[in-house]
């Protein structure tokens, strides 16, 4: 009975609010996902109800040192952060600062990551363990979001321990959403497009994580991965790196991943199951690549046929913002006339 209740509670988690909502440029995803708007409204009501509970954050952080109290403390801190990040950002960022600088806390969180990964490898990761891991990741999101701890957090190499978790393929269905939360930590780090962080992301193979998320992640993981990729592409040094001759294999892999996603999107469109926001981000990545000469040439050489053969006519009519972005891409590479001729 306990396991069934635990599973139900986990199914009710609003994963998108724990991932995409923390990314600055995610408003477009809300516009392209009506379901997300409904969830957001429900979350607010529940959050306000829980906010009545008094919490002394430093005391709860200290409880992390006690293995008996740790799981409960992680849950309390995670719930607190989910409630405060919008309504009380000052306390949200303050908590991130306290978590990073309090004695032994980062070591404890790292220990939690290693324990979770050990269970993943041993195939003993259950719903309860996955939820505990999600709570740990929520704390790391908060640390990544704080301007005073972001660079120190990256330099500590703690985010690197999330990489095997993201790359791991678990039979547990809910783990796909845990992967998305882990990815969002990198998304939060990169979203400010700070030069040192982008350089750190490139040097630590974060681009490879984005590619992995596109290849075997669920839709949420794919979208979060695309956000990270876009943040790097919007940085001049990041764009130059991806388009450099030395990274031909990386760019080739990304192009193949996008082409595969587009193929799936075409099939999904036929079955009325297309992901508008994923299509938007794919188009946007092509647009960003065109800002660099070599990237422009690669896009021109491997321009996807579905963009000009009318495969996405219905979706561009339903979502004008996607149509506008696609038109921008077509104009950038001189393909708008081909669309007119095909029509």
End-to-end CA separation in angstroms for the chain: 59
Cα–Cα separations (whole angstroms), residue 181 to 15, 83, 188, 236, 297: 8, 16, 10, 27, 35
What is the chain's pLDDT, residue by residue, as a tens digit (343 residues)? 334 334 344 443 467 778 877 787 777 777 776 554 444 444 444 444 444 344 589 999 999 999 999 999 999 999 999 989 888 999 999 999 999 999 999 999 999 999 999 998 888 888 899 999 999 999 999 999 999 999 999 999 999 999 999 999 877 777 888 999 999 999 999 998 999 999 999 999 999 999 999 988 889 999 999 999 999 999 999 999 999 999 999 999 999 999 999 988 887 766 566 789 999 999 999 999 999 999 999 999 999 999 999 889 989 999 999 999 999 999 999 876 565 455 5
**Pick from 234, 263, 282: which residue ends a domain?**
234
Q: Do residues 318 and 327 touch, judged by C-beta distance below 8 A?
A: no
The residue among 172, 61, 177, 165 whose CA lies nearest residue 116 is: 165
Q: Do residues 200 and 266 share a domain?
A: no
Q: What is the pLDDT of residue 59?
A: 93
Q: Do residues 270 and 170 share a domain?
A: no
Q: What is the pLDDT of residue 44?
A: 44
Q: Do residues 209 and 224 touch, judged by C-beta distance below 8 A?
A: no
Q: What is the DSSP string of 30-78?
A: HHT-HHHHHHHHHHHHHHHHHTTS---HHHHHHHTTSHHHHHHHHHHHH
Residue 328 domain-assigned?
yes
Residue 2 domain-assigned?
no
Q: What is the pLDDT of residue 267?
A: 79
Residues ≥6 apart with Cβ < 8 Å to 41 = none
CA pair distance 30, 280, nearest whole angstrom: 12
Q: Do residues 215 and 263 share a domain?
A: no
Domain range enclosing 136: 16-234
Q: What is the pLDDT of residue 231?
A: 96
Q: Do residues 28 and 175 share a domain?
A: yes
Q: What is the pLDDT of residue 111?
A: 97
Q: What is the pLDDT of residue 86?
A: 86
Residue 325 domain-assigned?
yes
**Pick from 176, 205, 234: which residue ends a domain?**
234
Q: Do residues 175 and 260 share a domain?
A: no
CA pair distance 302, 320, nearest whole angstrom: 25
Q: Specify the number of domains making up the chain.
A: 2
Residue 291 domain-assigned?
yes
CA pair distance 254, 272, nearest whole angstrom: 26
Q: Do residues 48 and 180 share a domain?
A: yes
Residue 318 domain-assigned?
yes
Q: Do residues 168 and 32 share a domain?
A: yes
Q: What is the pLDDT of residue 175?
A: 85
CA pair distance 159, 156, nearest whole angstrom: 8
Q: Do residues 282 and 229 share a domain?
A: no
Q: What is the DSSP string of 306-343?
A: GGTTTTTHHHHHH-HHHHHHHHHHHHHTT-HHHHHHH-
Q: Do residues 51 and 197 share a domain?
A: yes
**Pick from 234, 269, 286: which residue ends a domain?**
234
**Dihedral, 151, 89, 139, 8 alpha carbons, nearest 10:** -150
Q: Do residues 157 and 263 share a domain?
A: no
**CATH number where 203 lies:** 1.25.10.10
Provide, for the chain, the percentages of residues in helix, strand and coil under a 3-state DSSP scheme, each rounded to the nearest 5.
80, 0, 20
CA pair distance 303, 317, nearest whole angstrom: 21
13 φ/ψ angles, rounded to the nearest 5 degrees: -60, 135
How is residue 109 annotated by DSSP? H
Q: What is the pLDDT of residue 170?
A: 78
């Amino acid at each position: 009975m306990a396991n069934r209740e635990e599973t139900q509670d986990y199914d009710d988690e609003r994963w998108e609010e724990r991932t995409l909502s923390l990314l600055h440029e995610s408003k477009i995803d809300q516009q392209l996902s009506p379901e997300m708007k409904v969830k957001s409204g429900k979350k607010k009501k529940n959050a306000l109800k829980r906010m009545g509970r008094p919490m002394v954050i430093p005391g709860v952080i200290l409880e992390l040192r006690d293995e008996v109290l740790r799981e409960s403390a992680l849950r309390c801190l995670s719930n607190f952060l989910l409630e405060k990040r919008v309504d009380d950002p000052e306390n949200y960022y303050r908590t991130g600062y306290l978590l990073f600088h309090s004695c032994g806390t980062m070591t404890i969180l790292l220990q939690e990551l290693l324990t979770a990964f050990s269970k993943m490898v041993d195939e003993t990761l259950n719903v309860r363990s996955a939820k505990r891991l999600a709570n740990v990741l929520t704390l790391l999101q908060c640390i990544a979001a704080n301007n005073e701890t972001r660079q120190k957090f990256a330099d500590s190499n703690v985010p690197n321990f999330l990489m095997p978790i993201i790359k791991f393929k678990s039979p547990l269905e809910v783990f796909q959403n845990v992967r998305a939360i882990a990815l969002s930590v990198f998304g939060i780090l990169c979203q400010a497009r700070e030069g040192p962080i982008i350089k750190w992301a490139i040097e630590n193979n974060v681009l490879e994580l984005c590619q992995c998320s596109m290849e075997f992640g669920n839709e949420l993981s794919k979208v979060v991965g695309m956000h990270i990729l876009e943040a790097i592409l919007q940085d001049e040094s990041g764009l130059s790196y991806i388009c450099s001759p030395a990274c031909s294999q990386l760019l080739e892999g990304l192009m193949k991943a996008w082409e595969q996603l587009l193929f799936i999107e075409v099939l999904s469109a036929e079955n009325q199951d297309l992901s508008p926001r994923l299509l938007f981000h794919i188009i946007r990545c092509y647009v960003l690549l065109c800002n660099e000469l070599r990237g422009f040439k690669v896009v021109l050489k491997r321009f996807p046929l579905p963009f000009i053969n009318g495969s996405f006519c219905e979706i561009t009519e339903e979502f004008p913002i996607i149509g506008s972005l696609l038109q921008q891409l077509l104009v950038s590479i001189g393909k708008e006339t081909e669309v007119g001729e095909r029509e």
